[in-house]
Structure 1
Amino acid sequence: MIESYTDALNFIHGRTKFKKIPTLDRMRLFLDRLGNPQNGLQYIHVTGTNGKGSTVAMMRSILMATGLNVGSFASPFITRFNERIALNAEPISDTDLTRLAKKVEPVVHQLDQELATGGPTEFEIDTAIMFCYFAEKKPDLILLEVGIGGLYDSTNVITSLVSVITTVGWDHMKYLGDTLAQIAHQKAGIIKKNVPVVIGHLPLSARNVIIKEAAEKKAQIYELGKEFSIRKLNRHTMNAEIEYDGGELHHFRGKLNLSGDYQVENAAIAITTVQVALKKLGIPVNTVDLKKGLATTWWPGRMETIIDEPLVMIDGAHNLPGIQALVKSIRDDFSDRNVYILVAILADKQYELMLGELASLGNVHLMVTNFAGPGPKRPSADLTSVIGEFKTRYPIQIAENWQSGFVKLSQELGTDDVMFITGSLYFISEVRKILK
């Protein structure tokens, strides 16, 4: 029985994470028993290997600047579970979360008895609670971030105003497939009939799959580099000034509050998606609101400064494309400085390749460590087992735990040097709780 917030979290986190056979039937049945709370609401549906969170954060900020009430569903959370479900960037209250967990609990137990494969998974319960919350709050628009993939993701029970595919890269291969085309097929699952789709720069094999799916569904495509474009105006600075062209906007200029060069493409996707969605809602695009939204976007754990001097940043580069984006940012913006990196990665990621990317930087002092991990089934990788494979300018250091590693690197850090703490988002979350 759920009586408290702790009970609610224990109930949610105590559920199985994945089932052997992917299906949306269980989710549809679950929502049906709850009175289909997902119906009658407007959505923007977002998937992608990387960039989902930042793109959603920018869209939310822009849409709030236009005066809309905006719901958002994101994963994973950085500090508290409640961040996953937010209204106008305010996380769901402990009281509402507890009450809604209490509401879904009997239905979950009922389905446990009825279904041969058991009742809803943890993420299906998160999704159901989110739909129930927004059915009560009735926001003007909900930004719905996919958990994993798209096709069989529990969020994929709605028809949105716009579908968004930010990037396609190597991640979650155990569930999505081991070629980019297979991964793209899963992500293309959110494309719906006659619903426009906004896509970022995609590898050719992934792009072909998505273009084909969109054509079959008669979904109009807005592709970065074709229907819209963006460029960074100020080189070697972390916060980009951008010029965007697309839709109703010509030579639109703005400044991004989110750091990192990879945010430039995310911003282009966010601006385009907002334009398409607002047009469908009959709301004009206001450049003042756009500028304000981009300039005030905040998203924890993505190139986030936690100490100003010397500069210490955390970046949740939790997979190979994420690390490659971080490496590009270091090359572009910090090539003239000594960069210290404290890294810990989950064992189920491509940690050898990720570490290789970081080790390739000539100005980087690398230190590997570990952290608790989200659970016994997802431990931190033993990075010490692979460090011998890399030739680096400075020897790779090892820290028994991240706290002692952080202290040691802090003592080596000069005033003009930079420290990045990166790897798993769960690691970043753990660090942020203590250092922020």
Structure 2
Amino acid sequence: MFTAYKGALDWIHARLRLGIKPGLKRMEWMMDRLDHPEAKIKTVHIGGTNGKGSTVTFLRSILESAGYTVGTFTSPYIEQFNERISVNGKPITDDELLKLANVIRPLADELEETELGGPTEFEVITAMAFYYFANNSKVDLVVFEVGLGGRFDSTNIIHPLTSIITNIGLDHTNILGNSYEEIAFEKAGIIKENTPVFTAVKHPGASNVIEEQAAKRKAPLYRLNEAFSISSHESLDTGEIFTLHTVSQTMEKLEISMIGQHQTENAALAVSAAQFLNQESLFNITDEAIQEGLKKAYWPGRFEILSENPLVIIDGAHNDEGITALVHELASRYADRSIQIVFAALKDKKLDKMIAKLDKIADQISFVSFDFPRAAAAQDLLKISQSSNKLAVDSWESYLFEEIQNLDAKEMLVITGSLYFISEVKPHLSRIIKQDDPNISVKRN
């Protein structure tokens, strides 16, 4: 048994050695031993390649504004590990995580001795989430974010009220497949019998796969630009504003505080799902709650402005689609700035297209590595780049400190890449950019 939070957290992290083991049998085994907590909670399931975390946050914020208590399960974390299991955006306490680890540890040890093998880190955390929410009577609904893929993801033992599939891109191709269609098939694995699914998938082949799988399961399908659509989009300094058209109504001047045109699509998915929950009398969600929830929704590490003077932005753009969205926003919003980019990535990603796009937008691009088993070496990233102004940096900590101190009013610093890297960088940057420093104006969220 664990007696301290650190011991429990070290045990969870140590399970990273088991890697990724797709399949549901270990989860089903643990759920059976725990008397099936996953069946005792109301859920919404959100999968896709990009935008899952943002969509979770939009939907959670809408429901919270409507007066409900909402649990969320997300990954990876940005600011602290506990945020992966949260209630109304507030991470569980260290003591709660310690107690959960002591519930799951004996099961993990017992499972280790079976032919199924021990549960992975993600499976352990998922089991903890199910147990926690099933035993928290205050939670009205839990929004679960898929970890990887969908069909064999640890979360895919739930039978949700509705499912959401955000946009799909070529990510984790070594596990999910090399084509949009193959990846879409894995993502569509979260679609359940007779359960509505909302999607913003754009690729025609991927969209067809989603349609086929929904039809097989007799699941009503609602697609962006068909069942619901966006118009009158306008970018603001502090976010986006748009009009949403659904089958039942038109909602004008919806405002979000997350930056990026792609975030309007994530918001539209969340609103459409919320309207479904309302129309089915599962929840009472007013238009005012939708408007308020969208505007209040905040998700760290997604085109997040940490400082306005000097201008410092972090963005967890960890695949080609994410980089495309980042480059679009930089080009449209900061054409008059000298853009300095710091980039770190995982070595199992397809990096050539990502780096090529960053090369075009960056006046200077710096490559770094970080303390993570799958992190790419800075020198390897440097070799891929075709930029005429590039460098590899040994210590990102000291480098960022120097760069921020030397930025002038015509320059900006963008730190991007792996979300695991962003989770390391953000607390470090927060220490550099002190809110009480008279020479630095920090954006407060």
**If the TM-score is normalised by the length of the shorter chain, which range does it land in?**
over 0.9
Q: Do the aligned residues in 1 keep the contact of 2:323 with 2:357 (CA within 8 Å)?
A: yes
**Inter-partner Cα distance in structure 2 for 1:91 and 1:405:** 31
Deviations 1:351-406 (A, max 9, x none): 22211110122x63212222212xx3x1x2134345455544x5113322212332
Which residue in the other structure is 1:384 paired with?
379
1:30-429 map, 5 Å = 30-113=30-113, 115-138=114-137, 139-235=139-235, 237=237, 239-361=239-361, 364-373=363-372, 376=373, 378=374, 380-385=375-380, 387=382, 390-392=385-387, 395-429=389-423
Residue 232 to residue 239, structure 1, CA distance change in 2 (3 Å): farther
Q: Do the aligned residues in 1 keep the contact of 2:64 with 2:88 (CA within 8 Å)?
A: yes
**Inter-partner Cα distance in structure 2 for 1:247 and 1:92:** 38
Q: Do the aligned residues in 2 keep the contact of 1:47 with 1:146 (CA within 8 Å)?
A: yes
Residue 96 to residue 212, structure 1, CA distance change in 2 (3 Å): same
TM-aligned CA deviation for residue 178 of structure 1:
1.5
Q: Do the aligned residues in 2 keep the contact of 1:236 with 1:333 (CA within 8 Å)?
A: no
The alignment's TM-score, normalised by the length of structure 2, stands at: 0.92
TM-aligned CA deviation for residue 325 of structure 1:
1.0
Residue 185 to residue 224, structure 1, CA distance change in 2 (3 Å): same
What is the RMSD computed on CA atoms of the aligned residues?
A: 1.9
**Inter-partner Cα distance in structure 1 for 2:233 and 2:193:** 37
> Higher mean Cα deviation, 94-103 or 246-255?
246-255
TM-aligned CA deviation for residue 201 of structure 1:
3.3
- Structure 1: gaps (5+ residues): none
Instruction: Report sequence identity in percent.
Output: 39
The aligned amino acid for 2:169 is G
Q: Do the aligned residues in 2 keep the contact of 1:240 with 1:256 (CA within 8 Å)?
A: yes
**Inter-partner Cα distance in structure 2 for 1:348 and 1:186:** 19
Q: Do the aligned residues in 2 keep the contact of 1:343 with 1:368 (CA within 8 Å)?
A: yes
The aligned amino acid for 1:428 is I
Q: Do the aligned residues in 2 keep the contact of 1:56 with 1:270 (CA within 8 Å)?
A: yes
**Inter-partner Cα distance in structure 2 for 1:430 and 1:20:** 22
TM-aligned CA deviation for residue 40 of structure 1:
2.3
SS state at 1:137 partner: coil
Kindly indicate whether residue 426 of structure 2 is the aligned counterpart of residue 432 of structure 1: yes
Deviations 1:248-275 (A, max 9, x none): 3314322111112221111111111111
Q: Do the aligned residues in 2 keep the contact of 1:34 with 1:104 (CA within 8 Å)?
A: no
TM-aligned CA deviation for residue 235 of structure 1:
4.3
**Inter-partner Cα distance in structure 1 for 2:400 and 2:417:** 14
TM-aligned CA deviation for residue 117 of structure 1:
3.6
TM-aligned CA deviation for residue 411 of structure 1:
4.8
SS state at 2:318 partner: coil
Q: Do the aligned residues in 2 keep the contact of 1:369 with 1:405 (CA within 8 Å)?
A: no
The aligned amino acid for 1:188 is A
SS state at 2:183 partner: helix
TM-aligned CA deviation for residue 422 of structure 1:
0.5
TM-aligned CA deviation for residue 96 of structure 1:
1.1
Q: Do the aligned residues in 1 keep the contact of 2:2 with 2:8 (CA within 8 Å)?
A: yes
SS state at 2:258 partner: coil
**Inter-partner Cα distance in structure 2 for 1:105 and 1:15:** 11
SS state at 1:308 partner: strand
**Inter-partner Cα distance in structure 1 for 2:31 and 2:235:** 49
**Inter-partner Cα distance in structure 2 for 1:124 and 1:389:** 35
Q: Do the aligned residues in 2 keep the contact of 1:232 with 1:264 (CA within 8 Å)?
A: no
Q: Do the aligned residues in 2 keep the contact of 1:46 with 1:163 (CA within 8 Å)?
A: yes
